[in-house]
Amino acid sequence: MSNTINLRKGEGINLTKTKPSLKNIRVGLGWNEGNINIDLDASVFACALDRKSQPKILTERHFVFYNNLATPNGSIVHSGDDRSGGDGDENGDCETIRIDLDKIEREVTELSFFVTIHEGIEKRQHFGMLSNAYIRIYDGNTNDTICEYKLDNQYDKITSVQFGSVIRDVNGWTFNAVGAGYKLGLGDIVNQYLPATK
């Protein structure tokens, strides 16, 4: 844990250069709800660039969330919806996503990680009610945390947050701490990533 790199919003780290042997990563997402019952959902969009160089999901099955726990080839696998109130797993994460980098389709150049509050707008719940929200990347084989990004407290009225993204380019795989907040529901986020119909 002492070698963990703590990122701030907008910063990134080249995972391939930091750990050349990295093949399997886990993305851990966590938060603390306190005494409020908030249902949060983690999801990942496996995207390719469209003709306008915009990231769009490769297929509908490449949107991985509580109702679709894996991509067709199993390269991305979701741990499932956590409703424990932030108790977390053995590593303290509320939800985790396992990724086999070698199995990801060549067309996929970006993995975008979101956490949304289920019915947040209707229930008037938002990220300002949470504490200690974070995303971390760790080696799936050794369990060593490579980097972590903790959200600050500037997310009042925000119901969806893109915590981070993993990008593939000529230099390998890079993790970027995004921290982009939206006053949108999960369905609205999905619509932004759907490929344009012909």
Average confidence score pLDDT of the chain: 91
What are the chain's domains?
5-193 (2.60.60.30)
Please give the pLDDT value at position 187: 94
From CA 133, how far away is CA 154, in angstroms rounded? 12
User: Would you list the DSSP string of 41-109?
Assistant: EEEEEEEEE-TTS-EEESSGGGEEBTTB-B-TTSSEEE-----SSS---TTS-SEEEEEEGGGS-TT--
Please give the pLDDT value at position 197: 65
Give the distance, in angstroms, between the CA of residue 182 and the centroid of all CA atoms in the same chain: 15
Task: Say if CB 113 and CB 163 are below 8 A apart.
Answer: yes
179: left (phi over 0), alpha (psi -120 to 50) or beta: left
Please give the pLDDT value at position 22: 94
Please give the pLDDT value at position 62: 97
Please give the pLDDT value at position 90: 57
From CA 111, how far away is CA 109, in angstroms rounded? 7
Residues of the chain with pLDDT under 70: 1-2, 81-91, 197-198
From CA 55, how far away is CA 193, in angstroms rounded? 7
**DSSP β-ladder status, 145-150 and 5-7:** parallel
* Total-model pTM: 0.92
Please give the pLDDT value at position 95: 94
